[in-house]
Amino acid sequence: MYSDRGGLTLLAALAAISLVGSATGVQRVVLPARLMGLSLALPIVAFGVSKSLIEVVSGVVADEVGRRAASIIGVLAYVGGAWLLYNIPTSGGATLANLLIGAGEGLLFTAIAVAVSDLLGAREAAKALGLMEAFAYSGYGVGAILAGTLWQRGSLNTVLAYAVAAPLAALVILLTVFEETRQLIRRENMFEGYTLSLLQAYSLMLSKPSLATALATAHLSKLVDASVWALLPPHLMGIGLDIGGVGLVTGAFLVLWGVAMPCWGTLSDRVGRKTMIASSLGLSALLMLWLSESRGPLDSALISAGLGIAYGAQYPVLSALAVDLSPPEARGRALGLYRGVRDLGYMTGAIIATAGSYPLAAALTAVAAILVVGVVRETRPAWPFMKLVLQHFSVMRECIEAHTRVIRKLMEGDYRGAFSEDRKLKELERMGDKIKREIMERIWSSPLPLADRMDFERLVERLDKIGGALLEADEKLFTVLPRLRKEFLREILGMEEEVMKLADKFAENLEALTVSPVYALKLTGDVEQGETRIDALRRALVRKIMREAEKGSIDLLTSFELRDVVDLIELIADDLEDASDIVRIICYKHAA
């Protein structure tokens, strides 16, 4: 999937965000243990507002100056904030420090998210984002555990010194190992040629109900994280845990959250987004309510662990929704806006936390789940028969190749070879019929909505006509075999080569449907343009056949048969365009 050097870049990126995440995790224990009320809310608000505002533009920075430069700038800002926190460990100092820490983390995390997405590609969007977030939030967990342990066995200064050393180590890794990944989006060549300005990218995102809802949902879901940050340590100390135990339980929540994300993300790439997001939000709301009623260390720890696993399901999958609905060239902008709106939830959560309200945070999380169920469309549908559909079209494409070989053999005067290729074409057409029957069985035994099943039935039926049209074209060519002229065969061959190009373009269109309906929707226009070119070739060739017939250069029967062959080849182009139109309809259902 990526080169050895790319693998090293990926490891460097993940190590860097893990180290920086561990520095932020220190604050998950330190701030709630030392501050309360407004003095606690202010640093969290500063972190959330600074991080979210930077993230809105950090995607642009990552797209324009590169992932590496953006990452380095982010870590430098973070080091400055960590140094302030070490030297001024008061509420005011923590607030000022978190303006820099939030901005630095926002720029770094967005740049790394885009870099990891570049390395793994759009096909594995949730897996890529889940992997990145896993290392970030596992780092949070490690930092929380270290903070409790170091503080219990040493001093607060030792804990804060670690918060400076960790991002410095990340900076060294980025400077020495991490390489630029921006150029890798060119590898996704089936999506080339689509560029969006900043305004166009944001307008497109906000105009899509699914994506606009995902932004609002992500903001509401962030309440869980912010509430746990502010409320869990005081709750644990209130039921008798020492600072080491607080760090351990807080860290377990964060580590399990991080470990769960790549698992859920990988599963989402296979089974879809919507159900996973909605169910995990609903479960998070229930666990928040349960946590508010817990009174023992063990049950509080178990609920926190469950909350981390549940939260790990929604976090990368909501991010993947932004990738699904945005072209690669706007990936940084999309992720930047998404992360900015989401992380502004730190501010909302901190305000709610000042009231000590787990139930209110749970209620808002439940609202987020309802929004997903009611508005968001599935952007990564799990069609159980999609591999067979791709296999069926691959056979139809082989039919076109076989027919092209028939024409070439006829041009060479190798009639035996032409008949041999025709037999291969018949075998391929029968194979296509067999796959089609299996697809129909899968379609009508699946639990998909009736409209979706009908769409795919029409798509497969349309594509299946290709093999029959080619066999009929062969019959007509063989009928006038002794009277065929090479010049007509040459032009028919040229027309069929254009059909092959169109088939390749449609193959990209169909393949893109398995990645994201947004990408597939863009490619349907290319198929339409290709059909228009073939239609023009057909008209020119038909006129030439008619002129030759009028002059007596070819007999009337030959002219009719040749014209039918030309019409059949053009009909294949029409079938491909019609199939692409059906793909467009499917895309419209999932790309809003």
Per-residue pLDDT of 508-540, as tens digits, reads 888 888 777 777 877 787 788 888 889 999 999
Query: What pLDDT does 23 receive?
Result: 96
Q: How far is residue 448's CA from residue 457's CA, in Å, rounded to a whole number?
A: 12
Same domain, 122 and 27: yes
Q: How far is residue 353's CA from residue 75's CA, in Å, rounded to a whole number?
A: 29
Answer whether residue 130 is part of any domain.
yes
How confident is the model over 540-549, as pLDDT tens digits? 999 998 998 8
The band of 342, judged by pLDDT with boundaries at 50, 70 and 90, is confident
Answer whether residue 188 is part of any domain.
no
Q: How far is residue 592's CA from residue 590's CA, in Å, rounded to a whole number?
A: 6
First to last CA, the chain: 30
Pair of tokens at residue 173: 């890794």
pLDDT at position 473 over 50: yes
> Which residue reads 């960790």 in tokens?
166
**CATH number of the domain to which 419 belongs:** 1.20.58.220
DSSP letter at 482 equals G
347-373 average pLDDT score: 84
Top mean-pLDDT range of 163-167, 320-324, 539-543: 163-167
pLDDT at position 122 over 70: no
Same domain, 65 and 120: yes
Same domain, 348 and 418: no
**CATH number of the domain to which 239 belongs:** 1.20.1250.20
Answer whether residue 380 is part of any domain.
no
Answer whether residue 192 is part of any domain.
no
Which of 105, 254, 120, 251 has the alpha carbon at shortest distance from 188? 120
Lowest mean pLDDT among 48-62, 323-337, 469-483, 511-525: 323-337
Which of 279, 457, 274, 271 has the alpha carbon at shortest distance from 382? 271
Answer whether residue 381 is part of any domain.
no
Query: What pLDDT does 1 receive?
Result: 44
> Which residue reads 């597939």 in tokens?
520
Query: What pLDDT does 190 receive?
Result: 43
Q: How far is residue 318's CA from residue 320's CA, in Å, rounded to a whole number?
A: 5
Out of 317, 352, 375, a domain closes at 375
Number of domains in the chain: 2
Kindly report the CA angle at 34 between 303 and 142, in degrees rounded to 5?
A: 50
Which of 113, 94, 112 has the alpha carbon at shortest distance from 42? 94
**229-263 core/surface letters (b: 16 or more CB in 10 A; e: else):** bbbbbbbbeeeebebbbbbbbbbbbbbbbbbbbbb
Query: What pLDDT does 361 receive?
Result: 84
Kindly report the CA angle at 56 between 54 and 62, in degrees rounded to 5?
A: 80
Query: What pLDDT does 27 receive?
Result: 92
Lowest mean pLDDT among 120-134, 467-481, 523-537: 120-134
The model's pTM: 0.73
Same domain, 361 and 399: no
pLDDT at position 123 over 70: no
**From its phi and psi, is residue 485 left (phi > 0), alpha (psi between -120 and 50) or beta?**
beta
> Which residue reads 């008949």 in tokens?
419
How confident is the model over 84-113, as pLDDT tens digits? 999 998 889 999 999 999 999 999 988 888
Query: What pLDDT does 240 receive?
Result: 84
How confident is the model over 39-67, as pLDDT tens digits? 888 999 999 999 988 988 887 788 788 89
Answer whether residue 522 is part of any domain.
yes
489-502 average pLDDT score: 91
Q: How far is residue 432's CA from residue 424's CA, in Å, rounded to a whole number?
A: 12
pLDDT at position 165 over 80: yes
pLDDT at position 200 over 70: no
Query: What pLDDT does 391 receive?
Result: 95
Q: How far is residue 436's CA from residue 40's CA, in Å, rounded to a whole number?
A: 63
Q: Is 47 helix (H, G, I), strand (E, B) or coil?
A: helix
C-alpha dihedral (304, 307, 308, 314), degrees to nearest 10: -170
Average pLDDT, the chain: 86
SS3 content of the chain, % helix, strand, coil (to 5): 90, 0, 10
DSSP letter at 377 equals P
The band of 192, judged by pLDDT with boundaries at 50, 70 and 90, is very low
Q: How many CB atoms lie within 10 A of CB 508?
A: 17
pLDDT at position 405 over 50: yes
Same domain, 121 and 232: yes
Out of 347, 375, 403, a domain closes at 375
C-alpha dihedral (79, 81, 82, 85), degrees to nearest 10: 160
Same domain, 248 and 271: yes
Out of 352, 375, 398, a domain closes at 375
> Could you tell me the residue range of the domain that residue 404 belongs to?
386-590
Same domain, 52 and 148: yes
The band of 406, judged by pLDDT with boundaries at 50, 70 and 90, is very high
Same domain, 343 and 471: no
Contacts (Cβ under 8 Å, ≥6 apart) of 98: 27, 43, 44, 46, 47, 50, 81, 85
304-327 average pLDDT score: 82
Same domain, 366 and 470: no
